[in-house]
Structure 1
Amino acid sequence: MDAQIAINKAASKLLGKSSEKYMRRRFKKLKEQMKEISKEQQSIREGQRQVAVKFKAIEEECEQLRKETHQIIRQSANTQIRLSLMFNILMAREQGDFSKAANLTQLLREIIARDNVSQSTNP
C-alpha cells in the first residue's frame, strides 16, 4: 500500500506543473461542455413543451370538427326526412288521398316542432 502511494507521488513530481495545467484546462473545457449540453437540454424541453401545447390545440380542434360534422350529418338526415315527407304529401294529394296527406302533414309539423325545440336547447 505504501509503495503505491510512493509511486503516485513520484509520478506527480515527474509530471509536474504541466500535467496540473493540462488537467485544469481539461476540467474547464468539460465544465463548458456540460453548460452547453445543459442549454441544449433546456432548449429540447422547451421544444417538447411547445409541441405538447400545439398537439393539445389540434386535438381540441379535431374534437370540435367531429362535433360539427355530427351536427351537419344530423341536420342533413332531418332535411332528407322532411323532403321525403313533403314529396309523399304531394303524391297523396295528387292521388286524392287527402286523409293520408293530412296525416303526413301532421307528422311533418311534429317533426319540425321537435327539431325547433332541440335547436333552441342546443345552440
Structure 2
Amino acid sequence: MKSFHVAMESLHSPSKQRCIAAANKSSQRKKKRRRRKMKRLNATMRRLQVETNEIRKEQEIIRRGQREVREKFEAIHHECEQLRRETDLITKQSLNTQLRLGLMFQILRARESNDFNKAACLTQLLRELVAKQNNQ
C-alpha cells in the first residue's frame, strides 16, 4: 500500500502539479489558437464567397452585353444584305431603263430619217424587252 500512497503523493507534488497546469495552459492556448485560425478561415471563406458572387454577377452582365452586341451585329448584317440586294435591283432597273431609253432614241432617229423598217424592228425589240422585264 505504501507504493500506492507514494504514487499518490508524487502526483500531488508541486512539480507535478506545475507540469499538469502547464500542460492544461498549453492545451488551452492551442484551443484559442485553433479558434482564432478557424475564425480567420471562416472570415476568409465568407469574403471569398462574396467576391465569387460579385464575379458571377459581373460575368452574367458581360454575357448579357455580349448577347445584345451579337444580336445587334446580326441585325446590322441582315440589314446590310437587304441593302445590297436592293442596290443590285436598283442597278439592274437603271441598266434596263438606260437600254430602253437607248432603243427609244434610236427609234426616233430612224423615224426622223424616214427609215420605218428599222424603226419597226427597234419598236418590236423594245416591246420584247419590256415584256421580258415585266415577266421577271
TM norm structure 2: 0.74
Match in the other structure for 2:50:
32
| Residue 120 of structure 2 corresponds to residue 93 of structure 1 | no
Match in the other structure for 1:72:
90
Residue 18 of structure 1: SS of its match in structure 2? helix
Amino acid aligned to 1:58: I
Distance in 2 separating the partners of 1:117 and 1:21: 85
Q: 1:44 pairs with 62, 65, 76, which one? A: 62
Residue 72 of structure 2: SS of its match in structure 1? helix
Distance in 1 separating the partners of 2:135 and 2:79: 28
Amino acid aligned to 1:98: F
Post-superposition Cα deviations, 1:95-121, rounded to whole Å, max 9, x if no partner, equal 111111110010001101111111xxx
Q: 1:63 pairs with 76, 81, 95, which one? A: 81
Distance in 1 separating the partners of 2:62 and 2:91: 43
What 5-or-longer segments of structure 1 have no aligned partner?
A: 1-9, 119-123
Q: 2:72 pairs with 54, 57, 62, which one? A: 54
Amino acid aligned to 1:109: R
Structure 1: 4+ residue segments shifted above 3 A: none
Number of residue pairs matched by the alignment = 108
Residue 101 of structure 1: SS of its match in structure 2? helix
Match in the other structure for 1:106:
124
Distance in 2 separating the partners of 1:24 and 1:33: 14
